[in-house]
Structures are given as structure tokens and as C-alpha cells.
Amino acid sequence: MKKLLFITLCMLTSTFSMAQTPGWTEKAKKSVFSIITYGGDDKIMNTGNGFYIDENGTGVSDYALFKGAKRAVIVDAEGKQYPVDCILGANEIYDVVKFRIKADKKTSALPIAQTAPAKGATVYLLPYSTQKQNTLQSGTVEEVADIEGGDKYYTLHLNTTDKMVSCPVTDVNGEAIGLIQNVTSEAGQSCYAIGATFAARLSLNALSGNDYALNNIGIKKGLPEKEDQALVYLYMIANSLNADEYIQLLNEFLIQFPDSSEGYLRRATAYIDHHKDNEHYALAEKDLEKALEKAEKKDDMLYNISKIYLLASTPDFTYKDWNGEKALQTIQQAIAINPLPIYIQQEGDIYYALKNYEKAFESYDKVNHSTMVSEISLFSAAKAKQMAGANEEALALMDSTITHFGTPLTTKAAPYLFQRAQMRAEMKRYRPAVADYNEYYKLLGGKVSALFYFSREQAEMQTRMYQQALDDIRKAVELAPEEPVYLIELTSAYIRFNQLDDAMEVSRKGIALAPENPDFYRMLGYCQVQSGQKEEGKKNLLKAKELGDPNAGVLIEKYCK
């Protein structure tokens, strides 16, 4: 009798348990998985839980589990392991991370509830389990709080442990409302959950490359969901990746955005920049063809491709017909579609690179007579005229370049003032050159280079501004003490002013710096002879002659007989 009563009670209990278990439980628990994260030494860092939110292997879990991790794997309800492929978003404040695994099939996912359950509503906690038995726990909603973006944060009457962090909490329909947080009340009967919609909406954006929380995870990051955001993200993160990592990210970008002409252009550029070989140039060629095919604005893409053809051709490596001529043909195709001044400027730049300075000037002149005239187009025209030997026209164009900035001049005009100063000096108009150098110095507040002091000294010498010249060449040597040219010029200046001891001192420094430079031996030898050190002077003059100085022999004949 007792045995029969026991069997009856067991049957009733089993029937009651099945009646209380929602029908969606068996399918839902397949969405929950265990996570193992590994550090830099490939040792296990942490273990925890998470669940899928879509069929493409996108999952959510707690950020603390991933912080500092170099890789991670999930173990699903069937005991199979899958590596975490990339991170798709993270929030350290609410301790949530979103990621994607490398799955070989569709994943069983929990649908996300779009409506929050009311206070007092029944909810279920679904822990990770590989067992056949039902492990569902039930509780109620104690409080619903609003957080950013209209998402929710829940206080639940539900007894949990630290083994249940990031397990899903569902409503009575089996839709996820949140993830269990690693926080419990003092009484131990309440727990907290961050809204599942908040976790699902985590994403990357254009500036995610600088996100502190994301950068504290060593696992590869995914890409923003919108193409324009993803392109900016690629630009921002490029310098932090090596060549292979960057190309791999571009590969993933093109899988995500297969119609992006900009993506093909960037990958082609990466192939060329990082791999100077026919194999990668051939890959780049295919990408450029694809970029042009996908481009909505063919002229703009032709403009970009023309720049690649010109830059890709180097003295050490040439691929097929990628050269200045092909670049010129390509930009002229763009001009035929839409004759924008920027394309015509590019045409001029290509002519200039091909040393066809007259044609270059013609292109620049067209830009200068358009609404897009700028200091760059004026300066380009000036340089083309200078290279063609038309110095007066070149100088007039340089004047126009400076005038284009208006008055008073700002620091933006400084580089062009320096160029005009050099042009004037080459035309032996030294005083106007010095005036430009002085204005350049003033615009930059005296923050100039050794080259500036050397250049101004050269002009000052020609205008007999000797003290200013000596001060400038001394400053050049002070700023660049290991530049032999400046030491030679300073020695020459000392000799000119008959400061022979100073000249000999600088010459010896030059010999120590550049022992194969004959100029220092010649000047030292001359100073020694003039100072009465005839034998020592002769030795240094002979050394200069031995090193190929054509003037040393003349000095020996004149002073050492």
C-alpha cells in the first residue's frame, strides 16, 4: 500500500512539474551557452554564460568576462565549442558585451521581448545546461527602471548565484527581457538584470577604435553596421594594425558591404602600399576594376585610380603599363565625364611629373581661371613656369600666390613666402629674398629650422649683411651640429672674416664628423698655413688633394713651396 502511494505521488509530482514547464523551454535552452576566455599566455582567465540573440551566431554576455581576454570560445548546449570571431559592442558601465562566433550552421536564438513585463509579472531564468532535465527557475518582477535609449533595468524576486551571471531572463512567452547581472541584494532573494534590448543594440561606430572598453578586449573587433560609419572606422583604426591585419579587415568589410566601391579602392591601395610585387599588384588591378564597376560617380573613381597609377610606378618596380601616361589617360577620361577643376589640377600634376611643364602650366592656368583658384593652383603654375625656364613669369605667379592670402598674412602663407625667397635668391635678387625670409621668420614667431638659417645666410652674404649672415650660420650649426654642409659654410665664413682660430676649430669638428670630406682638410690646411703652421697645413692640404679636392693642389703650389 505504501509503495503504491509513493508511485502515485511521484506520478502526480511529475505531471504537475510538466504542467508548470512552458512548452518553449526545450528549444530556448539551446540558445544558452558557456563561455571560456583566455589571456595573453593562453591560460584560462574566466568562465561564464551568455546566449544567442540571432541565428547568425551573435551572442551577449557580461563585459567583465571578456576584459583583458585575447581569445574566447563558447560551449553550446550540445557540448560543441566555437571560437568567438569578433566583438560587436561593449559597455563597461552596465557590464555587457556583444560578439559573434564562427558558426558552421544557424544558431538557436532567443527572441528579444519588445515590451517590458509589468511589476509583479512572472519571469523565468534559463541557466546554461547540457543535461536533459528541465532547469528553468521562476520568479517575479519587483521593479522596472528606465535607462538610456528607452531600455530597461530590472529588479527581480529570483534567487540566483554567481554561476548564473549573464544567463537570460525571459517572460512567459519565452522572449528574453534581460541578462542576470553580477549584483545581488543583501537578503539574497533579489537580483538584477540589464535589459536584453540594451545588449542587442550595442554596436560599433566610426569612433569605436578609440573606445576604452573595446580596447581592453584583445579579441578582434567587428565593423559598424552602416557603410559610412564603417569607412570612417577603417580610417581611424588603420594605423594601429599591421599590413596583414588591415587587409584582413578590408576583406571582412567587403564581405559585409560587397557593393562598396570605396572598399575595393582602399583594398587595392593597401595591396600596393604594403606589397611591392606582381601578385599583389594583380589583386589590386582586379579591385580597381571592381571599384570602377561599383562606383556611382565614375569620374570621381577615375580620378582616384589615376593617382594610384602615378604613385604605384617607382624606379624600382613597375607593373604592366601603370605609369604617368596611363595616369594621364585615366584622369582625362574623368575630365571628359565632368571637367571639375580638381581633375584638371590632377592632370597638371601628372604632366609635371612627366616633365611636360608647358602642358602642366596649361592645366594649372585653367584652374586659376576657374572659381576653384587657390594658392595651390597658383603655386603649381609658378613652379611649372620656373621649371620651363620662364623665371619672370614664375615670380609674377609667386607674387599672385602670396597676394591670394590677403593681408595681413597668416602662418598659412609662410611656406609660400619661403618658396618665393628661394626663387628670388636663385634669380640673384638677394635683398627681396632676405625680406621674404624675415617675413617668414616673423610669421612663424621664430620657430624655424636650420635650413631656414642656412638659406637666409646665403642671401645675406650676397648683400654684405655679414654680421647677420654669421649669426645665422652659427644658429644653423647649433640646430643641426652634425650637418657637414653647415659646418663647411661656417668655416668658410670665419675664413672670410679672418677668424682663423674659430675656422680651425670648426674644421676639426668637421673632420671628426666626416673624415672623408676633403673640404674640411683643405680649409684647415689653409688656416694653418696662414697661421704659421706650414708643415701641418701642408699635410692637411695633401690629404684634401688625396681625397679629390681640385683646389688643394693650387693652394699647395701657392703657399707651400
Percent of the chain with pLDDT over 70: 94
User: Tell me: the pLDDT tens digits for 334-380?
Assistant: 999 999 999 999 999 999 999 999 999 999 999 999 999 999 999 99
Alpha-carbon torsion angle 250, 252, 257, 263, nearest 10: 10
Provide the number of structural domains found in the chain.
2
Please indicate, yes or no, if residue 37 is contained in any of the structural domains.
Answer: yes
Residue that is written with C-alpha cell 609662410 in the block: 414
Q: How far is the C-alpha of 378 from the C-alpha of 327, rounded, in Å?
A: 22
Q: How far is the C-alpha of 62 from the C-alpha of 70, rounded, in Å?
A: 16
Alpha-carbon torsion angle 259, 261, 264, 269, nearest 10: -170
Please indicate, yes or no, if residue 442 is contained in any of the structural domains.
Answer: no
**Res 45 pLDDT > 80:** yes
| Closest to 381 (Cα-Cα) out of 410, 359, 403 | 359
User: Tell me: the pLDDT tens digits for 104-162?
Assistant: 889 999 999 999 999 999 999 999 876 555 578 899 999 999 998 889 999 999 888 88
State the DSSP code for 53: S
pLDDT score at 491: 96
- Of 79, 101, 123, which residue is a domain's last? 101
- Of 49, 83, 101, which residue is a domain's last? 101
Confidence bin at 11 (pLDDT 50/70/90): very low
> Per the confidence metrics, is the pTM higher than 0.75?
yes
DSSP sequence for 129-155 = --SSS---EEEEEEEEEE-GGG-EEEE
User: Tell me: the pLDDT tens digits for 281-327?
Assistant: 999 999 999 999 999 999 999 999 999 998 887 777 788 899 999 99
| Closest to 468 (Cα-Cα) out of 481, 480, 458 | 458
Percent of the chain with pLDDT over 90: 81
Q: The CATH number of the domain where 373 resides is what?
A: 1.25.40
Please indicate, yes or no, if residue 540 is contained in any of the structural domains.
Answer: no
Mean pLDDT, residues 224-237: 93
Which residues, listed in sequence order, are joined to residue 221 by a DSSP beta bridge? Answer: 87
Q: Which amino acid is at 107?
A: T
Mean pLDDT, residues 461-474: 96
| Inter-helix orientation angle 375-387/391-403, to 10° | 170
Range of the domain at 393: 339-404
pLDDT score at 133: 53
Mean pLDDT, residues 459-487: 97
Please indicate, yes or no, if residue 346 is contained in any of the structural domains.
Answer: yes
Please indicate, yes or no, if residue 446 is contained in any of the structural domains.
Answer: no
User: Tell me: the pLDDT tens digits for 505-551?
Assistant: 999 999 999 999 999 999 999 999 999 999 999 999 999 999 999 99
Dihedral sign from CA coordinates of 48, 49, 50, 55:
positive
Give the per-residue SS3 of 523-550: HHHHHHHHCCCHHHHHHHHHHHHHCCCC
Given a contact cutoff of 8 angstroms between Cβ atoms, the answer to whether 110 and 116 are in contact is no
Please indicate, yes or no, if residue 508 is contained in any of the structural domains.
Answer: no
Q: How far is the C-alpha of 525 from the C-alpha of 523, rounded, in Å?
A: 5
- Of 354, 376, 404, which residue is a domain's last? 404
Q: The CATH number of the domain where 76 resides is what?
A: 2.40.10.10
Please indicate, yes or no, if residue 33 is contained in any of the structural domains.
Answer: yes
Please indicate, yes or no, if residue 82 is contained in any of the structural domains.
Answer: yes
pLDDT score at 342: 97
Confidence bin at 18 (pLDDT 50/70/90): very low
**Res 261 pLDDT > 50:** yes
Confidence bin at 277 (pLDDT 50/70/90): confident
